[in-house]
Amino acid sequence: MGFARMRAAEWRARAGDSQNAGTTGPLRGKLLRLIAVAPLACLLTGLVWMAAANTSDVAALLNRFAAIHMLLGAGVTSVALYAGLSLVSGIGGAILTIAEAAPRLAMGGAMMAVLPFAQPAETPEPASPSTGAQSAARSEMQIGLYGGFSQSPNSDVKMVAPDGTDLVLKDVVWKSESLKPSPYYGGRGVDWNSRFPNFGLMVDFTHAKATAIRSQTVTQSGKRSGTDIPPSEPFEKTFRKLEFTHGLNMLTFNGMFRATGLHRRIIPYVGIGAGFTVPHVEARRAGEDKEDGVSEAQVTGIALQALGGIEWRIFKSDRRSIFTEYKFAYTSNDVELQTGGVVSTDIFVHQFVLGGYYTPWRHGAVVGR
C-alpha cells in the first residue's frame, strides 16, 4: 500500500508539472524569440543609421567582405534579412492593429450614445464548436532563396571630375551575364500578418549584375579633361572599365499582398518596396593606372522595386513550396572615383525569378470539421 501511494503521488506531481509547462511554454518561447531578435535588430538599425549619417562608413564595412563575398556576404545578408524583417514586422503589426481597432472604437462610441435608449433583448445561444468549422488566425514566416535571369536596358552615364571633365554618354549598353560567376541570386524573408493573413512584410536582398560593353560606340556631349569631345566615340575612350559584376546589390523592404482564396495550391501575390543600392563597383577611367581605379562596395543610392508572382504549393509538406516571379527594379548609382569625381547612372533591372520557400513556423489553423 505504501508503495502504491508513493507511485500515485509521483504521478500527480508529474501531471501538475506538465500543466504548468503548458501555461508557461508560450511565454518562454516569446521571451526567447525576443532575446534572439534584439541583437539582430540592433545590427540592422546601426547599419541604417550609418548609411544616413555617412555612407563611407558602410562602404568600408562592406569592403571587409569583398574577398570572400559568396560566403561571408551571404551570412551578413541572412542576419540583416531576419533582423530587418523582425523590426519592420513589429512596426507594421502595430499599424495594422491600430487600423483594425479604429472602426471598433467608432462603433463603440456610437453604441454608448444610443445605450440609454436601447431595449433589452434575448441573448442568442452561442453556437456549438461541433456544428461547423471555425477559422483561427495564422501567422507565417517564410524564408526563400532564388535564382534567375536579369536584363538591364540602355541608360545614360554622366561623369564629373575636378580635372575639367563634365560629360554625358548616351544610351550605354549593359550586359547582365546572369549565369556567370557570381550568378544572379537573392534571398528573402516574408512575415504574413496573423490578423490580416493576406498582407505581409518582406525583406529582400538581390544580387544582379551590369557591365558596360567596352567595344560599343556611344553618342556623347561635354568636356573631358577640359577639352570638347566628339559627338560619337568608342566607350573605351572614356572608361577602361565600368561594371557592377560583383553585385548590383539591392536591399529592399516590401509590402506584400496574396490572394489565398482562389486555389489551395496556387497563390498569386504582388508587392512593392524601397531600400538601398549597395553595388560592388569596378570603375577606371581611360589612361588611369589600375591602382587608381575603384574596386569596392559603395552605398550609391536608393532602390525601388515592384514584383508579382505565383507560389506553387505542390509538395506534400506545406512547409515547402516554389515560386515563379517577375521583378522590375530601379537603382540609383552615384559612384565616387578614387581620383576624385563622380560617375552617375540610373540602371533599371528586369528580373525573371525561380525560387523556393521554407516555412519554419506557422501558428494557427482551420479547426472544426
Domains for the chain: give ranges and CATH numbers. Answer: 139-361 (2.40.160.20)
Q: pTM of the predicted model, to two decimals? A: 0.66
For residue 24, the surrounding DSSP H or E stretch is helix 2-53
Asked if 195 contacts 141 with a C-beta cutoff of 8 angstroms, the reply is no
Q: Which residue has the cell 477559422?
A: 135
Which pLDDT tens digit goes with each residue over 9-34? 443 444 444 444 444 555 555 555 55
Asked if 345 contacts 235 with a C-beta cutoff of 8 angstroms, the reply is no
Which residues, including other chains, have CB under 8 Å from residue 337's CB and lie 6 or more apart? 161, 283, 285, 294, 343
Q: What is the pLDDT of residue 225?
A: 92
In this prediction, the residues of the chain whose per-residue pLDDT falls under 50 are: 1-23, 65-72, 114-115, 117-119, 121, 123-124, 127-137, 365-369
Bridge partners, 146 (sequence order): 186, 355
Which pLDDT tens digit goes with each residue over 55-92? 555 555 555 544 444 444 555 555 555 555 555 555 65
Residue 265 to residue 329: CA distance in whole angstroms: 28
Q: Which residue has the cell 551575364?
A: 177
Asked if 343 contacts 335 with a C-beta cutoff of 8 angstroms, the reply is yes
Residue 328 to residue 349: CA distance in whole angstroms: 6
Helix (H, G, I), strand (E, B) or coil at 289: coil
Q: What is the pLDDT of residue 362?
A: 74
Asked if 178 contacts 359 with a C-beta cutoff of 8 angstroms, the reply is no
Which residues, including other chains, have CB under 8 Å from residue 141's CB and lie 6 or more apart? 85, 189, 190, 191, 192, 359, 360, 361, 362
Which residues, including other chains, have CB under 8 Å from residue 210's CB and lie 6 or more apart? 152, 174, 175, 176, 243, 244, 248, 347, 349
End-to-end CA distance of the chain: 47
Q: Which residue has the cell 516569446?
A: 30
Q: What is the pLDDT of residue 25?
A: 53
The C-alpha cell at 92 is 507594421
Identity of the amino acid at 108: G
Q: CA 183: distance to chain centroid?
A: 19
The C-alpha cell at 162 is 575636378
Asked if 301 contacts 277 with a C-beta cutoff of 8 angstroms, the reply is yes
Asked if 255 contacts 292 with a C-beta cutoff of 8 angstroms, the reply is no
